[in-house]
Amino acid sequence: MMMKKYLPAALLAAALAACGGGEPAADAALMPPKPGFTVKFIDIAVLAPKLPLGEPVISEGEHGEKTYRYPVKGLPEGNFVAFTGKFTENMHELNGQCMEDAAAGWAVGGVCRDLFDKLTAAITAKPDEVGKYMLEHAGLQPVSEQQTYAAVQDGRFVFDADRKGMFSLRRRH
């Protein structure tokens, strides 16, 4: 009789342990951190001066939207940060690409890492935690050979990066 009472509980415990249910610390490491975005708007006048950018090239798209495409100082033309939207004080997206050396990823002391660290510090309350998560899960530090991607989000914004050095901050719709 005692065996019938404890057997289901023992089986449940064994099943949870096999699925990782008994290791909350391991599960927590896979969860993205809450970004605690400190910006209410993607404002060019606030964000662009904080980043190592050159002078923008401005182009106009459909429906009155403009794109302000800035080169990254010290890197070739394919490295950029672009703001897109109708109003410079409330753009709907910041996106870019930065990669000095694909084999090194975004190494400490590099231009791309500096750009990413400054952007993360400008938009989140927890830049160290968010930056570490993004770099590791995007495969940029340590470098991954896999095609990898990382994102953090809240009700207003999504911030993401991938292994090729592409990144964005965009308003959720």
User: Mind listing the pLDDT tens digit for each residue in 33-88?
Assistant: 999 999 999 999 999 999 999 999 999 988 889 999 999 999 998 999 999 999 99
Q: 77-85: long-range contacts (C-beta < 8 A, 24 or more apart)?
A: 79/111, 79/112, 79/165, 81/48, 81/51, 81/53, 81/115, 83/42, 83/44, 83/47, 83/48, 85/42
At residue 25, the pLDDT reads 45
Is 146 domain-assigned? yes
In a domain, 1, yes or no: no
**In the numeric block, which tokens belong to residue 149?**
């991607």
| Nearest one of 32, 36, 23, 26 to 136, comparing CA atoms | 32
In a domain, 148, yes or no: yes
Q: Has residue 151 been placed in a domain? A: yes
pLDDT of residue 19: 39
pLDDT of residue 173: 74
Whether residue 9 is contained in a domain is answered as no
Tokens of 25: 């610390």
- The whole domain housing 77 covers 39-171
Sort strands 149-153 and 93-97 into parallel, antiparallel or unpaired. unpaired
Which pLDDT band holds residue 31 (cuts at 50, 70, 90)?
confident
For residue 46, tell me if it sits in a domain. yes
Burial 74-84 (b: 16+ CB within 10 A, else e): ebeeebbbbbb
Average pLDDT, the chain: 87
* pLDDT for the residue 140: 96
- pLDDT over threshold 70, residue 8: no
29 domain residue, yes or no? no
| CB 32, CB 150: distance < 8 Å | yes
The total domain count for the chain is 1
**pLDDT category of residue 16 using cuts at 50, 70 and 90:** very low
The fraction of the chain above a pLDDT of 90, given in percent, is 76
Q: How far apart are CA 33 and CA 152, in angstroms?
A: 7
Lowest-confidence region among 6-10, 103-107, 129-133, 154-158: 6-10
Q: Looking at the domain assignment, is residue 92 inside a domain?
A: yes
The pLDDT value given to residue 29: 55
